Each structure stands twice: as structure tokens, then as C-alpha cells.
Amino acid sequence: MIKKEEVLAKLPDLDGALSQDQREQVLASMQVRTYRKNELIYAEGDIPSHMLCLISGKVKIYKDGVGGRAQIVRVADAVEYFGYRAAFADENYVTAAAAFETSVIASIPMGLVRQLIMRNPQLGWFFIKRLATALGKSDARTVNLTQKHIRGRLAESILFLKESYGTEDDGRTLAICPSREDVANLSNMTTSNAIRTLSTFVQEKLIFLDGRKIKILDEAALQKISKMG
């Protein structure tokens, strides 16, 4: 198990803004837990009590839609804070979160986070910037998922995964291996539509599939499809 001191060292924006006493408070109250793949981290409607930070692994933030089909809102990558917007707004969670793969997550009580922000404007500004950036990305993605056709949405999702997680050593194979259901949820479509469209992309030599691995063969063409919608 990773030590709390090692976790805090991975959060230089937080660690560097703390006095020694505040640092000891954070270490004393911090919890570190490992989540298995697909294990629920929090559910829609839960009361947010802690700020969460993904130390390693990947986490999907999603919302259940019509017919029980989930819509992936975004995917968090290490090292990233998540699950704090609802707490700052004094709301229950409007989304759910689950581990995309085995993930280590640190949690700090929101009561302590609020105290630290009140005493440290620099830390408050950091979270304001993160929330503003996330809002802009969310707005853009919402428009794309509602206005683009299936091919455009899927192309965008593949490029989104490449931008978020990078590639393996070959520079083309995505460094994340999503299930077909995850790809569908990320693209706001049914699993069957995602499978058919992925197959079409393979036939057009835009991508190559090896199980869950996705290798991009023609990124320029995917960008064009995504842009055209």
C-alpha cells in the first residue's frame, strides 16, 4: 500500500500550499484505498463528504440514462481531482463514478478542504480554474454528443481517448483498452451501434482492433469525420 506521504508528494499544488500544521492535518485525515475494476466509488444521489484524487489508474464518471444505459460524462486519469463539484455546490452527486481499471484513490474530508481554501487564496484559485476548465470541456462535449451523427461521435471518442491517455510505444495503439459498452457509453450510442461503427472503421482502414485494443491507422481521417460530425 502506498504511504500517505508519498500520495501527498504526488499532489504538489496541494502540498506546496500547506503549512506544516496543515500538512499534518491532511495526512492525519487522508484515506487511501484501492478500487477493483468496475467497483463503484460513489453513486448518483450520494452525499459528497470527501474530495477525491485519483493517484493511479483510471475512473469513469457517468450518469444513468433512459433504459438504464449509462452515459460516460468523462474519464479521469492520474493524477486528477474529482467528485468535489457537488460538495462545493452543497448538492448530492448528480453522477456516479467507478474504476475503469484497478485504481488507487486518496480522499480528504471536505470540511478540512473548505478550511484550507478559506485560509489559502492560492488553493482556492487552483480549484476555481479547474472547475472553469472542466465546465468548458463539458459544454463542448455536450454539444458534440447531441449534434453529431454516430460516425462523428465515435471518431471523437477515439481521439478523446488518445488525447486523454496517450498511446503505447508504437504511437498508434491507445494506452487504454475500453470495452465495447464503454465505447458506446462514451459516444452516446447503443453498444450494437458502436460495434457496427467500429467494424466500419476497420473496413475503411481507419483503425485496427485486437480484442479491446484500438490502433489508429488514419488519424487525419478520424479528425475529419469528427469535425464534419
* pLDDT on residue 116: 86
Q: Are residues 20 and 111 in the same domain?
A: yes
Out of 139, 167, 185, pick the residue that ends a domain: 139
Q: Are residues 130 and 181 in the same domain?
A: no
Q: Are residues 127 and 175 in the same domain?
A: no
* pLDDT on residue 131: 80
Query: In 10 A of CB 96, how many CB atoms?
Result: 19
Q: Are residues 101 and 59 in the same domain?
A: yes
pTM of the full predicted structure? 0.70
H or E segment to which residue 2 belongs: none
User: CA-to-CA distance for 146 and 161, rounded, in angstroms?
Assistant: 19
Asked whether 174 and 186 are in contact (CB, 8 A), the reply is no
Out of 73, 107, 139, pick the residue that ends a domain: 139
Q: Are residues 61 and 101 in the same domain?
A: yes
3 state SS of 19 = coil
Out of 96, 114, 139, pick the residue that ends a domain: 139
Asked whether 187 and 194 are in contact (CB, 8 A), the reply is yes
Q: Residue 177 belongs to what domain range?
A: 148-228
Domain of residue 157, CATH code: 1.10.10.10
Grid cell of 202 as nine digits: 476497420
Query: In 10 A of CB 161, how many CB atoms?
Result: 22
| Helices and strands counted in the chain (H then E) | 10, 10
Q: Are residues 73 and 112 in the same domain?
A: yes
User: CB neighbours of 25 closer than 8 A, spacing ≥ 6?
Assistant: 112
Positions of the chain with pLDDT under 70:
1, 65-69, 137-147, 229
- CA 214, chain centre distance (Å): 19
Q: Are residues 48 and 135 in the same domain?
A: yes
* pLDDT on residue 146: 65
Q: Are residues 176 and 134 in the same domain?
A: no
Domain of residue 19, CATH code: 2.60.120.10
Backbone Cα Rg of the chain:
19
* pLDDT on residue 219: 92
Q: Are residues 158 and 132 in the same domain?
A: no
Q: Are residues 38 and 18 in the same domain?
A: yes
Q: Are residues 100 and 209 in the same domain?
A: no
Q: Are residues 132 and 172 in the same domain?
A: no
For the chain, the domain total comes to 2
Sign of CA dihedral 110, 111, 113, 114: positive
* pLDDT on residue 55: 93
